[in-house]
């Protein structure tokens, strides 16, 4: 087999611990109708990658499976019927989670999921935008209906989704209250939070005394703790959560509705986020950049709670 038909990637041969990941040669994928082959510049690690690897999430994959559903790179080949893209275009996108992903030198993605990459930041770093940026936007505006002048409480604002949520909510004209640990307090404040609550030393219920229009939960939380926070949502407000393991509580008696967010591709919204990045109105924070060969170690550190912020895996260029 010739080198040109092969590329390197991280594959999951079976469900389980990080040790099941293998960094190895793989056949270079060919794009089907409506698909694009992307030469990967960056593949973002997400906690859900670990859930898929371990079989903890209800997402069906065919093993061996290449992880990574956030991608940045350049168009390498076009499948039949693809219009609006050309070989060499710099793109980013959210790949369907059940498909082989971006933790490789080459990946295949639906053309409709890809948009032009930001030009203001390195191409590899822009892999840190799609899924978390879309999650924040969909939570605030699609599910939450956030409007200027409203009050929003972002519980767990110190993570990647929280950083985008704070920036987008503040830009929309909301008053933003954010919870974080001391480690991420300054990042959350820099993102635009009007109030920052240290959840390690202060009860959120004690710190937030005025009602909020939108409660956005991004953090692990107990059902009891989540239900208690709903008391801080005004009548007719909304509770939005990205935590599928705990049911999102509302309060029907007060007209407080509950929404659970599962991120979905949206090229129009993603293009809007890219425009904000290029206008200097939205920051893409990257905590680490590691060689693709070190992705198994990232999975292991994430399982041990030692990954903070967005990690980008960078494939070899040869």
**Do 167 and 190 meet the contact criterion of CB atoms below 8 Å apart?**
no
Q: Which residue reads 């809007």 in tokens?
A: 272
Confidence check: pLDDT of 13 > 70: no
Q: What are the structure tokens assigned to 9, written together?
A: 């990637």
pLDDT of 100 above 50? yes
pLDDT in tens, 179-237: 999 989 999 999 999 999 998 888 999 999 999 999 999 999 999 999 999 999 999 99
What pLDDT is stored for residue 63 in this prediction?
77
pLDDT tens digits, 55-97? 666 677 777 889 999 999 999 999 999 999 999 999 999 999 8
B/e letters for 179-203, b = 16+ CB within 10 Å, e = fewer, are bbeeebbebbbebbbeebbebeeee
pLDDT one-digit tens code per residue, 260-299: 999 999 999 999 999 999 999 999 999 999 999 999 999 9
Tokens (6 digits) for 183: 């480690």
> Alpha carbon of 139 to those of 25, 48, 143, 292: distances in Å?
38, 17, 5, 30
Question: Torsions phi, psi of 210, nearest 5?
Answer: -95, 145
Per-residue confidence (pLDDT) for residue 104, from 0 to 100: 96
What is the pLDDT, as a whole number, of residue 98? 85
Question: Is the confidence at residue 8, as pLDDT, over 70?
Answer: no
Backbone angles phi and psi of 7, in degrees to 5:
-150, 165
DSSP per residue, 195-231:
EEEETTTS-HHHH--S-EEEEEE-S---HHHHHHHGG
HSE-up of 136 (CA within 13 Å, CB side)? Answer: 30
Is residue 4 predicted with pLDDT exceeding 50? no
Q: Tell me the pLDDT tens digit for each residue of 155-188.
A: 999 999 999 999 999 999 999 999 999 989 999 9
Other CB atoms within 10 A of residue 6 CB: 15
Q: What is the pLDDT of residues 120-147, one digit of tens each?
A: 999 999 999 999 999 999 999 999 999 9
Domains and CATH numbers, the chain: 3-129+284-314 (3.90.180.10), 132-260 (3.40.50.720)
CB-hemisphere CA count at 13 Å for 202? 15
Which residue reads 């550190």 in tokens?
Answer: 301
Q: Are 71 and 43 in contact (CB under 8 A)?
A: yes
| pLDDT level of residue 7 (50, 70, 90 thresholds) | low
Q: Is 316 exposed, middle or buried (0-12, 13-18, 19+ CB in 10 A)?
A: exposed
With a CB cutoff of 8 Å and minimum separation 6, the contacts of 207 are 195, 197
pTM above 0.85, yes or no: yes
Least Cα distance to 90 among 268, 284, 274 occurs for: 274
């Amino acid at each position: 087999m010739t080198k040109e038909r092969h590329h390197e990637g991280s594959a999951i041969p079976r469900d389980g611990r990080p040790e099941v990941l293998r960094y190895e040669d793989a056949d270079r994928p060919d794009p089907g109708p409506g698909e694009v082959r992307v030469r990967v510049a960056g593949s973002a690690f997400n906690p859900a990658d670990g859930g898929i690897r371990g079989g903890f999430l209800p997402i069906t994959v065919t093993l061996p499976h290449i992880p990574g559903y956030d991608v940045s790179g350049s168009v390498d080949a076009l499948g039949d019927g693809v219009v609006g893209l050309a070989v060499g275009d710099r793109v980013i996108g959210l790949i369907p989670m059940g498909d082989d992903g971006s933790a490789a030198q080459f990946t295949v993605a639906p053309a409709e999921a890809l948009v032009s990459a930001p030009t203001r930041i390195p191409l590899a770093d822009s892999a840190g935008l799609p899924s978390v940026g879309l999650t924040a936007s969909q939570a605030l505006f699609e599910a939450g209906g956030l409007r200027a002048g409203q009050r929003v409480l972002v519980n767990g604002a110190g993570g990647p989704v929280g950083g985008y949520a704070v920036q987008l909510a503040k830009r929309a004209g909301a008053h933003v209250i954010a919870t974080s640990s001391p480690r991420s307090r300054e990042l959350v404040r820099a993102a635009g939070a009007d109030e920052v609550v240290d959840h390690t030393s202060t009860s959120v219920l004690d710190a937030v005394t005025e009602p909020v229009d939108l409660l956005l939960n991004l953090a692990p939380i107990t059902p009891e703790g989540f239900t208690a926070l709903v008391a801080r949502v005004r009548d007719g407000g909304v509770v939005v959560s990205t935590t599928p393991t705990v049911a999102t509580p509302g309060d029907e008696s007060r007209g407080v509705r509950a929404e659970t967010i599962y991120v979905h591709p949206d090229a129009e919204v993603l293009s809007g986020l890219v425009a904000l990045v290029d206008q200097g109105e939205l920051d893409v924070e990257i905590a680490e950049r590691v060689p693709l060969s070190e992705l198994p170690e990232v999975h292991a550190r994430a399982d041990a709670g030692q990954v903070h912020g967005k990690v980008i895996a960078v494939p070899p260029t040869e």
